[in-house]
Structure 1
Amino acid sequence: MGQKPSITTLLRQCIYNQDTDGFRALIGEHENELIPGCLEDNIFVEVITKKCEPEIVDTVVKLANENQLASLVATAVLYD
């Protein structure tokens, strides 16, 4: 009877497992809760460092605030 994992934790599991279908399903299930800035900052670096599919990166970009987007872009520049 532990706590329910956060949406960010569940999305990170999908990113680490390269589970695009699971990622899509989670986004669909939690669509109403997801607003820009709602995810933890580290997920924006991880989508680049784990070389996620463009669909996942695009979805994460839409959920980024300005600072998170800057982190994602900076990481992409460094990892390119």
Structure 2
Amino acid sequence: MKPTLEDLLAGVPARDGNGGTPLAPSVSASKAKTAEPVTQIDKTTANAKRVLDEEAQARADKTAQLKAAREARDGSGKT
């Protein structure tokens, strides 16, 4: 027997929201259009830069945590 939608949503709490009215767009349609069409290579480049930036941030965070742990383990190091 397959579960019904009501069975799946039984544990999900109700949301207070906009009262059933459509949400207003956060950006107007005229501002959403760009001057030039975005090519697939532009999308790929943007995604690659985003991934590299996220990885660099994760590395920097990990390095800071390791440095703090080393300093805590070894003491302040400077007397």
TM-score, normalised to structure 1, is: 0.21
Q: Which structure has the highest helix share of the two?
A: 1
The higher radius of gyration belongs to 2
- RCO comparison, higher one (Cα < 8 Å, 6+): 1
